[in-house]
Structures are given as structure tokens and as C-alpha cells.
Amino acid sequence: MVTKYLLLALIVFAINLLPAFGPPTWTVVVYTHLRWSLNAVAVVVIAALCAAAGRYLLAHGSRLVSEHVSQSYRDGLASIEQRLVGSGKGTIALTVLFVLSPLPSAQLFVAAGLLKMRLARLTGLFLVGRLVTYSLYLAGSISADAALGGVLTKVWGAPWAIALQLFFLGLIALGPYLISARAKSK
């Protein structure tokens, strides 16, 4: 059982190191609870802590490469930083952004790293937000699974369900090409 918790921690940490194109962490939280029968509170706490640690390191890594970003881009970031950090409204907006934002957090942390913002505070806000959102996602999935008689537990991660999702992902990825090819043939 300890191995499953360690694997969860490693997966969540690795996903949150990615600057883009990572799967949403809440899906890992729900999957591991439903498929591995892990304690819900432990899953939420481990996932939130590992997500915060991963995002902190992502932002810190962005800081290390900030000198390689174009000067015009850095000037734009500096302007944004002055607006956000320079006013009380900006501080409130920043707090809401890191706690409740529907925006992908990877880009927020890359920007925070490039702006050389105080990462400990932002990471703490992010941690609080993730504790709340992961709890809500997990509670919702547990309720849905119970209401559906355990169907989610049986289906989530089944090979045919994964194949179906990959098929639909392929259709979405090929959609623009198929549409443009059809338009050219007319």
C-alpha cells in the first residue's frame, strides 16, 4: 500500500514539473482513489503537496532561464509585475488567480518564475487552492461512483475506455486537417 502512495506522489510531482501539455492532476487524484482504493484524505494531501512542490520547482527553473528570454518579452513581464504587485487590487487578483484560477497553473508558475515573484507565498496559495479543489473533485467522484453502483471504478482505466479516449483524442487532433482537406476537395 505504501508503494501506491509513493507512486501517486511521484506521478503528481512529475506532472507538475511539466511546463505544458500535462494531464490535469485531479484526474490522477480521482483515478488513484477509485482504482487503488487509497484513503481519500491521504490522496488529497499527498497530491496537493506534490503538486505544489512540482510547481515551485517549475517556477524556480523558469527563473534560471529568464536571461534567455527576449528583452521585449521581459519588458512586458515587468509591466505586468508592476501592475499586479504595485496595488492592493493586484495583490487580491494574484491571490484569487493562484487559489481559484481556472487557468492552467503551469503557465502561471512559469510567468511567476520569469517575473521573479515571491514563490513561497504563491506556492502556499496554490497549495490551499489544490487542497480545496482536489477534495471537491474526489468527493464528487466518490458520490458519482456510489450513485452509479461502482461503474466508475470498473470503467476508469479499463483498456477499452482508454482506447476509446485515445480514439476521440485522435479525432480531435485530426479534425482541422480533415475539414481543410474536405474544403480543398470541393
pLDDT in tens, 95-107: 777 777 666 789 8
pLDDT at 98: 74
Q: Are 34 and 42 in contact (CB under 8 A)?
A: no
Which amino acid, residue 71? Q
Dist. CA 134–CA 69, nearest whole Å: 34
Q: Is the pLDDT of residue 130 over 70?
A: yes
pLDDT at 40: 95
Dist. CA 75–CA 62, nearest whole Å: 16
Choose among 112, 120, 109, 106: nearest CA to 81.
112
pLDDT tens per residue, range 11-63:
999 999 999 888 889 989 998 998 888 999 999 999 999 999 999 999 999 99
Q: Is the pLDDT of residue 76 over 80?
A: yes
Determine the average pLDDT of the residues in 177-186: 74
pLDDT at 49: 98
Determine the average pLDDT of the residues in 77-96: 72
Q: Which three cell numbers stand for residue 1?
A: 500500500
Dist. CA 156–CA 110, nearest whole Å: 32
